[in-house]
Amino acid sequence: MKDDLLLQMAVAFATLSLVSIGGANAVVPELHRQVVDQLGWMDGATFTQLFAIAQVAPGPNVLVVSLIGWHMAGPAGLAVATTAIMLPSSVLAFAAGRLVARWSHTRWIEIAKAGLVPVAVGLILASGVVMAQAADHDALGVMITVAAAGFIVLSDRNPLWALATATAVGVACFRLGLSA
């Protein structure tokens, strides 16, 4: 029974890994469709909660998949889910990296890279804005987001300063009754 679940998990997440162009932000709707709607492993509220935890924890947000594995089948589930979501895409990245390196002397690879860089930067900006829309519930949240963005642009200091300051300001405003 449990082996069936693990196998199901391995197949579902390994498949997801191969189509997850764009990482976590791209995968979440599809993940939700599979885990909640199709396989019925958990309800929507549990899914949202797990995703929130994955977002707060360090590491790529795609780790929500590991958390789903843990939630469903403990340590074995965690191991299977993590391996299934990481391995296929990583092997592909490894092969692609080698391929690009081998042909790097050609003009075409140069041009391809020149074309891909702006798309990558635009998508990072997009995921930042999508994250902000999900995270910022009030004016204070928006202000924290803008200030953190400004910090990164204007300073080369450790981003942890921005996170720590934001957390302190958030708690202070709450304690002073300035935010709900």
Partner 1 sequence: MDDPIARAPIARIIPCDHPMSKAGNMADYESGAAAAAPPPGVTRTALFLGFLKIGLLGFGGVAPWARHVIVEERRWLSEKEYAAILGIGQVLPGPNTMNAAVMIGDRFHGAPGAMLALLAMMAMPLVILVVLASLYASFATVPDVRIAVEAAASAAAGLVIGTAVKMAVKLKPTRLALLVGLLAFAAVGLARLPLLPTVIVLALLSVAGAVWERRA
User: Which one of residues 6, 35, 80, 88 is an interface residue with partner 1 (CB under 8 A)?
Assistant: 88
- The CA distance from 131 to 96, in Å, is 29
In this complex, which beta carbon is closest to partner 1, that of residue 1 or of residue 59? Answer: 59
Is position 92 an interface residue for partner 1 (rule: CB under 8 A)?
A: yes
Tell me whether residue 42 or residue 142 sits nearer to partner 1 (CB atom): 142
Q: Which is nearer to partner 1, 43 or 94 (CB)?
A: 94
Residues 22-81 that bind partner 1 (CB under 8 A): 22-26, 49-50, 53-63, 66-67, 70-71, 78
Q: Are 54 and 122 in contact (CB under 8 A)?
A: no
Maximum pairwise Cα distance, the chain: 61
Q: How far apart are CA 114 and CA 123, in angstroms?
A: 15
Among residues 112, 176, 177, 178, the one that binds partner 1 under rule CB under 8 A: 112
| 178 counts as binding partner 1 under rule CB under 8 A | no
CB of 50 to partner 1, least distance (A): 7
The helix or strand, by DSSP H or E, that contains position 122, with its residue range, turns out to be helix 107-135
Sign for the CA dihedral angle at 38, 42, 45, 49 comes to: negative
| The token pair that represents 59 in the structure block | 């590491």
| Displacement of CA 67 from its chain's centroid (Å) | 12
> How many chain residues touch partner 1 (CB under 8 A)?
101
Judged by CB under 8 A, the chain residues 117 through 176 that form the site for partner 1 are 117-132, 134-137, 140-142, 144-160, 162-163, 165-167, 169-171, 174-175
